[in-house]
Amino acid sequence: MAKPTIAGNRTGRKLGQRVKNKKMKASSRQWLQRHINDPYVQRAQLEGYRARAAFKLLEIDEKHSILKGARRIIDLGAAPGSWSQIAAKVTGSTDEDIRVAAIDFLEMTQLPGVKILQLDFLDPSAPAQLIEAVGGTPDLVISDMAAPTTGHHRTDHLRTMHLCEVAAHFAVEVLGEGGHFLAKTFQGGTERDLLNMLKRHFKQVVHVKPASSRAESVEMFLLAKHFKGRQADADVTEA
- What are the pLDDT digits (tens) for 195-204? 999 999 999 9
Start-to-end CA distance of the chain, whole Å, equals: 41
pLDDT for 150 equals 75
Higher pLDDT, 1 or 186: 186
Higher pLDDT, 58 or 1: 58
Beta carbons within 8 Å of 118's beta carbon, 6+ residues apart:
103, 104, 105, 106, 107, 108
Average pLDDT over residues 11-39: 49
Average pLDDT over residues 173-190: 88
Domain ranges of the chain: 15-47, 50-238
Please state, in angstroms and rounded to a whole number, the distance separating the CA atoms of residues 183 and 17: 33
Q: Which amino acid is located at 193 in the chain?
A: D
Q: What is the pLDDT of residues 36-82, one digit of tens each?
A: 455 667 787 888 788 889 999 999 999 999 999 999 999 999 999 99
Task: Give how far the C-alpha of residue 194 lies from the chain's centroid of Cα atoms, to the nearest Å.
Answer: 18
- Is there a contact between 113 and 100 (Cβ–Cβ < 8 Å)? yes
Beta carbons within 8 Å of 91's beta carbon, 6+ residues apart:
70, 71, 72, 73, 99, 100, 113
What is the C-alpha radius of gyration for the chain, rounded to an integer number of angstroms?
Answer: 18
Q: How confident is the model at residue 239 (pLDDT cuts 50, 70, 90)?
A: very low
Average pLDDT over residues 149-173: 87
Higher pLDDT, 120 or 18: 120
Q: Which of 56, 115, 184, 225 is catalytic?
A: 184
Beta carbons within 8 Å of 83's beta carbon, 6+ residues apart:
53, 54, 57, 75, 142, 144
pLDDT for 13 equals 47
pLDDT for 31 equals 39
- Is there a contact between 24 and 32 (Cβ–Cβ < 8 Å)? yes
Average pLDDT over residues 76-98: 97
Higher pLDDT, 26 or 218: 218
pLDDT of residue 21 exceeding 70? no
What's the whole-number average pLDDT of the chain? 83
Please state, in angstroms and rounded to a whole number, the distance separating the CA atoms of residues 101 and 138: 10
Q: Match domain 50-238 to its CATH number in 3.40.50.150, 3.40.190.10, 3.10.20.30, 3.90.1150.10.
A: 3.40.50.150
pLDDT for 235 equals 53
To the query of whether residue 23 is one of the catalytic residues in this protein, the response is no
Average pLDDT over residues 157-184: 94
pLDDT of residue 129 exceeding 80? yes
Q: How confident is the model at residue 160 (pLDDT cuts 50, 70, 90)?
A: confident
Work out the percent of the chain whose per-residue pLDDT is above 90: 59
pLDDT for 192 equals 85
pLDDT for 157 equals 76
Q: Does the CA dihedral 161-164-166-172 come out positive or negative?
A: negative
